[in-house]
Amino acid sequence: MRTIKIRRELLEYLLQLARSAYPNEFAGFLREKDGIFEEVLIAPNQYPGRNSVFFNHWMLPLDESIKGTVHSHPSPAFWPSEADLRFFSKFGGVHLIIPWPFTEDDVRAYTSSGEEVLIEIID
């Protein structure tokens, strides 16, 4: 299985964002530096809702360091929804899903075709 790397501080920040958005979802883009996800850009124009349709409304930033996305699920569903998969396939890259209850162990990462990848946390 493929592995992606994420900085621990970033992962902890993403978990906080997921908790504070609950019961809504939050979403953002992930920036990579030297093969490690280091930063999140919060998606603009988020609105309350319990599904992922907002992905379709995103303007994808023209920034080559953006190599993935992240969003939370207000439920224990750690797998991508059909809307998620449609978005992933358009975007490419790697996609994190943070399901409720938003602990480190809940986080999953997927390729643009929806295959799970391992997450390595870098201190």
Binding residues (CB under 5 A) for Zn ion: these are 52, 81, 84
Nearer to Zn ion, 49 or 61 (CB): 49
| Sheet strands (E) in the chain | 3-7, 27-33, 36-42, 66-73, 94-99, 108-111, 116-122
If you ran DSSP here, which 8-state letter would residue 56 be given? G
If you ran DSSP here, which 8-state letter would residue 54 be given? G
Nearer to Zn ion, 78 or 122 (CB): 78
Cβ neighbours around 109 below 10 Å, total: 22
DSSP-derived 3-state class of residue 43: coil
Distance of closest approach, residue 75 Cβ to Zn ion, in angstroms: 10
Distance of closest approach, residue 119 Cβ to Zn ion, in angstroms: 17
Nearer to Zn ion, 10 or 27 (CB): 27
Distance of closest approach, residue 95 Cβ to Zn ion, in angstroms: 9
